[in-house]
Amino acid sequence: MTYSLRGRESTDLKRAARKLSILTLAVGILAAGVASSPTPARADIVWDHWQKAESLASGGKQAEAVPHWQFLANHYAGLGEWENAALFCGKLDAYYDAIGNYEQAIYYYELENKYWVNAGRDWGAVKLQRADQIRTTVELYRTEREPSELKRQALPKNGQLAKFEPAYGTYLGMYSEQDPKVGNLFTKTESVYGKNHAIYLAYAHWGQNFPAMYAKRAKEAGAALQIAWEPDEGLDPVADGTYLRKWAQEAKAAGIPIFLRFAGEMNGAWVKWHGNPAQYIAKFRMLHDVFAAEAPNVAMVWSPGDVPANDIDPYYPGDAYVDWVGVSLYIEPYENGNPSLPSMISTSNVERLTRLYNTYSDRKPLMLSETGVPHYSHAAGEDFTEWAKLNLQRLYEIMPYKYPRLKAITYFNVDQKMANAKNDYSLSDSSEIQAYYSKLIANPYLLSKVSDGAQPSDKIGYVPVDANHQAFAKQTKLIPFVKIPDVYIGKVEYVLNGKVIASQADLPYGLTLKAGEVPEGSVMQIKVYNKSGSQVALRTYGISSQVSVELDGKTLSFEQAPIINNGSTLTPLRAIFEAMGAKVEYDAATRSVTAVKGSTTVRLTLDQKTVYVNGKAVQLEEPAQLVNGYTLAPARFVGETFGGKVGWDGSSRTVTISTK
């Protein structure tokens, strides 16, 4: 597993801090750089600002030093002296963070990182992390019942699913061997957590036999196996030969989908296979070719750690050799589990995936190869149950919805006690956490069976509430992603069209709305309060419901949704008539529609209230009309013309047509 902040990043940041602390000792050298400015007068101005800033800051007058730091940051950025520009941004972001002006702090944290990158340094990574910690976020997601939309947003750019990739939804995975209630008897998982899991994680080591027992146990549970295969002696011994071929053949004989995570976290200096990207790529490609020939049931997973971020990309073997992109991604209350180091409680797991997701999701499905949220810190002796619940919801409800190409999550279900990170990630040794986890994973969107093109049993997925996804049908569940610098949230308030309709203080956050409660053009506000009762965030969304049509109990899908016009519900004529077995023709010259079923013939003209059924004139309450190229007509007329019985469910805004 990995930690929040690696030693290299910590060392580099401290080096940067030391450099800043001795700026006054380096004045002579830096002034020489300033002397290259066009005029001596300009150098005097820079020197004056520098001296004034130092004097004010040392006297405790940081607020008065701000304009001088701003001048110096801008000056050195203008000269392309990126390290000096970054160091003065560091003064500014620290000041604004300390006084709680988080918007300005975020601006300068991001600017400082930009300047470090320009200088060829990765020292800004921890500054971006801090920016994410103090960023106020309010996002809203809702259920979506249209499979075509869900499949569209979950596909890569090339439109082709990878090996074992679900069409949409996220595989549920677990490392359970150290769970006293499950162990490696994977069939126990359902009785403990209420649901089968799709993937189980096992560890293997180069030179040892294929983990056949774990594969057998996974097969008994109807699951796939993720194998973290680690070359403990480094990459030199990894070669094609009898051992590898036999291992691959046994993998094929296992008869289950296998996600092979070879030499994971290769970007971290803590593993022996780190340090030679070219060698790593060559070995990974060789393994890919062997398994492609010997074991087609194996999907190759390339899986770095989420930090150090700047060392990830050089190790990528290439699209032709990678089936899935994985990542080890953990959060914890204290950096490296050490309470004497800075608190990490403000860190959210959601943002930690953003960079990797943006880089690779257009090409490959992503998985969290390992992840966890501790509910207890052994080193500090502190309980973090509330924090764990907050981030478990983010892990299982927010991340799969925000990142629709995130197709698998494997939870590291271990109490580490006083080893490594000294955190308790275990799900079953806390009855509250166990029950909460079971509640979260009951969602059918979290898939319990690996298969090509898998999808949730209820066909329901999730989309962001935005300009493209404002309207829903029948009923929807709203899931807010809320994050504030205070970390802990007092309550979330839902305001619909100016009226408070719900207030939640308990996790997990979410609200179910029926279509009848949300007329077209509605406005939903999410108000967030901290534990002190102060409102700290507000976000406004447009949201609407749309009319649905059921024919003999089956919901019909339309490219053009029904509309309400002058109090009448107009529904797509052709789609419904054809679903009822009628033949429909449209004459563009006369703008007329003719539909025939059995002995009944219907003729109507767009924008005219008079229609003819077997030659007999019938008056409509509203004329048929063309909307976005589709003919819409009053629902009752459409449903009853060929003998259907039409009803209306106001709570879900559903037209029901029964022909039986």
Q: Supply 359's token pair.
A: 């880089």
User: Tokens 């520009």 map to which residue?
Assistant: 85
265 annotated active-site: yes
Nearest Cα to Cα of residue 20 among 74, 85, 65: 85
Q: Supply 432's token pair.
A: 């509250």
Residue of 9, 351, 370, 493 with catalytic role:
370
Q: Where are the alpha helices (DSSP H) in 172-276?
A: 189-193, 212-220, 242-253
54 annotated active-site: no
Amino acid type, 319:
D
Q: Supply 609's token pair.
A: 């209230």
Q: Cα-flanking dihedrals φ and ψ of residue 559, to 5°?
A: -75, -30
Residue of 265, 332, 397, 493 with catalytic role:
265
8 Å CB contact between 256 and 218: yes
Helix 7-21 vs helix 125-134: crossing angle, to nearest 10: 90
Q: From CA 634, how far away is CA 135, in angstroms rounded? A: 49
Nearest Cα to Cα of residue 367 among 299, 317, 423, 267: 299
Beta bridge partners of 586: 593
Query: DSSP letters of 276-309?
Result: -HHHHHHHHHHHHHHHHHH-TTEEEEE--BSSSG
Q: Supply 237's token pair.
A: 């011994």
Q: Supply 572's token pair.
A: 């797509």
Longest dimension (CA), the chain: 100
8 Å CB contact between 412 and 372: yes
> What does DSSP assign to residue 462?
E
Handedness of CA 197, 198, 202, 208 (dihedral sign): positive
Q: From CA 295, how far away is CA 147, in angstroms rounded? A: 32
Amino acid type, 563:
I
Q: From CA 609, how far away is CA 589, in angstroms rounded? A: 19
Query: DSSP letters of 603-623?
Result: EEETT-SEEEETTEEEE-SS-
State whether residue 203 is helix, strand or coil.
strand
CB-based contacts of 242: which residues, under 8 Å, 6+ apart? none
8 Å CB contact between 632 and 563: yes
Alpha carbons within 13 A on the beta-carbon side of 536: 26
Nearest Cα to Cα of residue 348 among 494, 477, 489: 489
Q: Supply 29's token pair.
A: 């050298």
Nearest Cα to Cα of residue 427 among 355, 372, 480: 372
Q: Supply 162's token pair.
A: 């990878």
Active site residues: 265, 370
